[in-house]
Amino acid sequence: MRVAILGGTGDLGYGLAVRLAHAGVEVAIGSRDATRAAEAADRVREAADGTVSGAANAEAALGAEVVVVAVPFAAQAATLASIVDALDGQIVVDATVPLATAVGGKPTRTIGVWAGSAAQQAQEVVGDRARVVSALHTVSAASLGDLSHELDEDVLLCGDRKADKEAVAELIELVPGLRCVDVGRLELSRIVEQLTPLLISINIRHKAHAGIKITGLAAR
Amino acid sequence: MRVAILGGTGDLGYGLAVRLAHAGVEVAIGSRDATRAAEAADRVREAADGTVSGAANAEAALGAEVVVVAVPFAAQAATLASIVDALDGQIVVDATVPLATAVGGKPTRTIGVWAGSAAQQAQEVVGDRARVVSALHTVSAASLGDLSHELDEDVLLCGDRKADKEAVAELIELVPGLRCVDVGRLELSRIVEQLTPLLISINIRHKAHAGIKITGLAAR
């Protein structure tokens, strides 16, 4: 399985690339700048010793079964628009969060997204060329990027097709210590995306890299 | 310590009353209708064998150190306005959630609150007669009400004064299995209040009584 990570030069993209590469997944780091993508791929290989390449976003997406969008929200729509021709039925995993930092505000606040959520905006941009699943909003980039840190937390998934969420869960659960929980349709992402500023506020108060777990579910 | 629970005839109010009474806290159940409050107090005493009384809302609030608001959101502002004369420096714990059910919508959706959140609306109504802490949005009423169910989850607290959140944490943590986490100022409640519809969606999908836990915090 090959996964493209657009915004793989950022903290979340890097952390996810390290974990997936370490789990044996082939990773293509995407960036606007192919040189920066190649440099990021070098860094990931140093940390995780897997099959990792770097390329411009559209090239990274081409031939990937899953395309993860881990760019800042301000760049999300433009990034997706720039790769839409490379999409042909893939699953797009949107991990972006409409933090108020996109407009110079605080990371403990969000801005309203006309489509309802960042994930719904992503679906609007890619149209019928790909199906969006929203994920990875509550996992600390720092914890992901540090392989010596033992993960033990949940990843909340929103999407309109159960099979897509199952495929994303299968991929993400290759990372030891991450459990995926299907929380509902893509429109629910407007709630999950709010968890990032909540956890940022908790991190500031408690000097932590907080994550979340859903209690009360039957063990699988 | 005496705690008034307005809306103690509802599921969340009943569950909280049972747990607090069981933990040795004196509980005054409040309702618009004093007779219904007295009946609910009887039910709580049967389940938990503590010191529980029932009265009209304002009478229940009088002399309580903490006043919990567990009425449906549509009744929150009117309930608080009706007891404001009974408030004199207490802590008001707002547990209400602006679910779309208040206007005939789905329980997996919310409505926008002009003040920013239900908790901020509560603070607007009580003015300087009480200080609002927001809490208890993620704890399943059914799990609370069943003393044979072993709790193991977190309660997220929002409020503008640290001492108030500490007092509320001390009260809630009398219930075994509940840990309180200070997540920030009262305005953060707009995020925490969204967790209720998220958990309702999870409950529908997974036939569960889900709750949440914050991972990555230092143990106390």
Query: Which ipTM did the prediction report?
Result: 0.92
Does residue A215 fall inside a structural domain?
Answer: no
**Per-residue pLDDT reduced to its tens digit, A106-142:** 999 999 999 999 999 999 999 999 999 999 999 999 9
Cα distance from B196 to chain A (closest Cα, Å)? 10
Give contacts of A214 with chain B, Cβ < 8 Å: 199, 202, 210-213
d(CA A112, CA B62): 41
Nearest-by-CA chain A residue for B177: A215
Contacts 24+ apart (CB under 8 A), A97-105: A97/A73, A97/A137, A97/A193, A97/A196, A97/A197, A98/A73, A98/A193, A99/A73, A99/A196, A99/A197, A100/A197, A101/A72, A102/A72, A102/A73, A102/A74, A103/A74
pLDDT at A220 > cutoff 70: no
**Per-residue pLDDT reduced to its tens digit, A68-108:** 999 999 999 999 999 999 999 999 999 999 999 999 999 99
User: Is the minimum CB–CB distance between B218 and chain A shorter than 8 Å?
Assistant: yes
Give contacts of A184 with chain B, Cβ < 8 Å: 108, 198, 201-202, 204-205
Does residue A42 fall inside a structural domain?
Answer: yes
**Per-residue pLDDT reduced to its tens digit, B114-149:** 999 999 999 999 999 999 999 999 999 999 999 999
pTM, whole model, 2 decimals? 0.94
Please report, as a single letter, which amino acid is at residue A197.
P
* Residue of A152, A192, A210 with shortest CB distance to B214: A210
Contact yes or no for B214 and A211 at CB 8 A: yes
Confidence at A219, pLDDT banded by 50, 70, 90: confident
Cα distance from B64 to chain A (closest Cα, Å)? 30
Cα distance from B59 to chain A (closest Cα, Å)? 36
Q: How many CB pairs under 8 A join A and B?
A: 103
Does residue A211 fall inside a structural domain?
Answer: no
**Per-residue pLDDT reduced to its tens digit, A172-183:** 999 999 999 999
Instruction: Compute the C-alpha angle B134/B136/B139, nearest 5°.
Output: 160
Contact yes or no for B209 and A216 at CB 8 A: yes
Give contacts of B208 with chain A, Cβ < 8 Å: 216-218
Q: What is the rounded average pLDDT of the residues B77-92? A: 96
β partners of residue A67: A4, A92
Range of the structural domain that residue A193 is part of: 2-206
Cα distance from A220 to chain B (closest Cα, Å)? 11
Give me A118's structure tokens.
């960042």
Residues across chain A: 220
* Residue of A205, A209, A216 with shortest CB distance to B216: A209
Contact yes or no for B202 and A218 at CB 8 A: no
Q: Would you say the C-alpha torsion B103, B109, B110, B112 has a positive or negative sign?
A: negative
From chain B residues 128-147, the ones with a CB under 8 A of any chain A CB are 140, 143
Interface test with B, best of A206, A215, A217, A220 (most B CBs within 10 A): A215
Give contacts of A192 with chain B, Cβ < 8 Å: 198
Q: What is the CATH number of the domain that holds B77?
A: 3.40.50.720
Give me B114's structure tokens.
């002009």
Cα distance from A172 to chain B (closest Cα, Å)? 18
d(CA A142, CA A148): 11
Does residue A101 fall inside a structural domain?
Answer: yes
Does residue A214 fall inside a structural domain?
Answer: no
Host H or E run for residue A101: none
* Residue of A108, A204, A218 with shortest CB distance to B208: A218
* Residue of B198, B209, B217 with shortest CB distance to A183: B198
Contact yes or no for B191 and A195 at CB 8 A: yes
| DSSP category for residue A114 | T
Contact yes or no for B215 and A216 at CB 8 A: no
The pLDDT of residue A130: 98
Does residue B182 fall inside a structural domain?
Answer: yes
* Domain count across chain A: 1
d(CA B160, CA B155): 17
β partners of residue B141: none
d(CA B132, CA B150): 28
Nearest-by-CA chain B residue for A220: B206
The pLDDT of residue B220: 66
Does residue A202 fall inside a structural domain?
Answer: yes
Please report, as a single letter, which amino acid is at residue B76.
Q
Contact yes or no for B183 and A197 at CB 8 A: no
Cα distance from B177 to chain A (closest Cα, Å)? 12
User: Is the minimum CB–CB distance between B38 and chain A shorter than 8 Å?
Assistant: no
Nearest-by-CA chain B residue for A185: B201
Contact yes or no for A198 and B183 at CB 8 A: yes
d(CA A137, CA B219): 24
Give me B191's structure tokens.
């995020």
Confidence at B49, pLDDT banded by 50, 70, 90: confident
The pLDDT of residue B219: 75
β partners of residue A91: A66, A131
Contact (CB, 8 A) for B109 and B73: no
